[in-house]
Amino acid sequence: MIDFSRAQLTHFAINFVGNKGLGEELTLSQNLIEFKDDFVKETLLRYFLQPFKTDIYHQFKGKVDISLASVANAAEDLFKSQSQFINHSQQLAQHLYNQSNHPKIKGGEFYVCYFKDAVVDGELCDAIGLFKTENRETFLKVFQHVDTFDVDCDNGININKLDKGCLIFNTDKKTNYKLSIIDTNNKIAECALYWEEDFLNATIKPNGYYFTKNFIDASRGFCEEILTETNNVAKPDQMMMLNKSTSYFKDKEKVNVADFEKDVLVEPDLITAFKEYRNDFNKRLDLTAVEEFDVSQTAVKKNNKYMKSVVKLDKNFHLYIHSRHDYVERGYDDEKGLKYYKLFYVNEV
């Protein structure tokens, strides 16, 4: 949980970071921003901070050579002292500019903020905010002159949609700090990770979200790769196991892997196969495996889209199965030379 209700914005700088690969400019500010009134300040802070609500945290992959630019090094220096805030904001803008080489990366304003007394997961600490605006929208402006009206258009930033953001909290320093990252413009595969990896050099922090997501991914992979018709597992049975695996985490606060295997997989041969697959899955992706972890409902909700209830039969039929997979029989008709499904039910609705 992230709470900025008692936080104070003490330092604020804006730079413009264009696309270096396209020869666009880098404009560095020489002064801190002074707000004209509280309304502008509060609107800006709501735009920056409102999207950060989940339990998904990242951490820096590690410090780099002190002579090289990195967000991790700059953050550590800023937490020690804000006396060189403008210089650090310029260095960060230059670092982002150097990563902006792909032709589809959009230029935009780059904001650097320093907050006193932020709260993350109940801990009071300072925070650094890094934000970038990449998209502008057209707005109508209506002017009233007594009994007549004028209409004009202007381009501006939609304060309800933050393009890119990162909050760096001065906590968990021994494990490379705690970060919360937002990137709503990461749909283009070639430049999807330039904010998170190239600029921030961050990776997901091992916590409830990390372990829940990885375990659900392994469970889904096991169902889709191992429980297949090639291995004599019918599609409805695969679907049943996939849905059972995913729904197991709903409303749970903690999961023990042995309990999951006993309650979901049940059969000893299936449990053994899953253990082998999960070990290979973790080694392949270099993941940290644990046998008990706190469940992140954020990760569970994100994975709900992988729950399947539809069996597609050629291009002719879609069979929706929401539960009671034991009411479905699958067979083969020798006379017709076709596979079939037989459905049992109590009442027709």
Q: List pLDDT tens digits, range 132-159.
A: 999 888 888 888 888 899 999 888 888 8
- pLDDT score recorded for residue 145: 86
**Amino acid 277: pLDDT:** 93
Instruction: Tell me the chain's radius of gyration from C-alpha atoms.
Output: 26
CB atoms within 10 A of CB 264: 17
- Asked if residue 295 has pLDDT above 80, the reply is yes
Does residue 307 have a pLDDT over 70? Answer: no
**Positive or negative, the Cα torsion across 133, 136, 137, 138?**
positive
Output the pLDDT for position 66: 56
pLDDT greater than 80 at residue 305: no
Reply yes or no on whether the pLDDT at 171 is more than 80. yes
Mean of all residue pLDDT scores within the chain: 87
Residue bearing tokens 């949609």: 161
pLDDT attached to residue 322: 60
Give 40-95 pLDDT, tens digit per residue: 999 999 999 999 987 889 999 976 555 567 999 999 999 999 999 999 999 999 99
Decide if 124 contacts 115 (C-beta within 8 A): no
Low-confidence winner among 112-116, 124-128, 222-226 (lowest mean pLDDT): 222-226
pLDDT score, position 33: 93
* Predicted confidence (pLDDT) at residue 118 exceeds the cutoff of 80: yes
Q: What is the average pLDDT across 186-190? A: 72
Q: List pLDDT tens digits, range 311-339.
A: 667 776 766 666 565 667 777 888 888 88
Does the pTM of the predicted model rise above 0.85?
Answer: no
Mean pLDDT of 233-245: 76
**Which whole number is the average pLDDT over 236-245?**
77
Candidate from 37-46, 206-215, 236-245 with smallest mean pLDDT: 236-245
Rounded Cα distance, 248 and 297, in Å: 12
pLDDT of residue 180: 95
User: pLDDT band at residue 248, thresholds of 50, 70 and 90?
Assistant: confident
Of 221, 272, 266, which is closest to residue 246 (Cα–Cα)? 221
Give the separation between CA 67 and CA 86, rounded to whole angstroms: 18
Cα–Cα dist 20/112, whole Å: 20
pLDDT for residue 310: 59
Residues 263-268: contacts with CB within 8 Å, 24+ apart? 265/241
Q: Residue 94 has what pLDDT?
A: 96
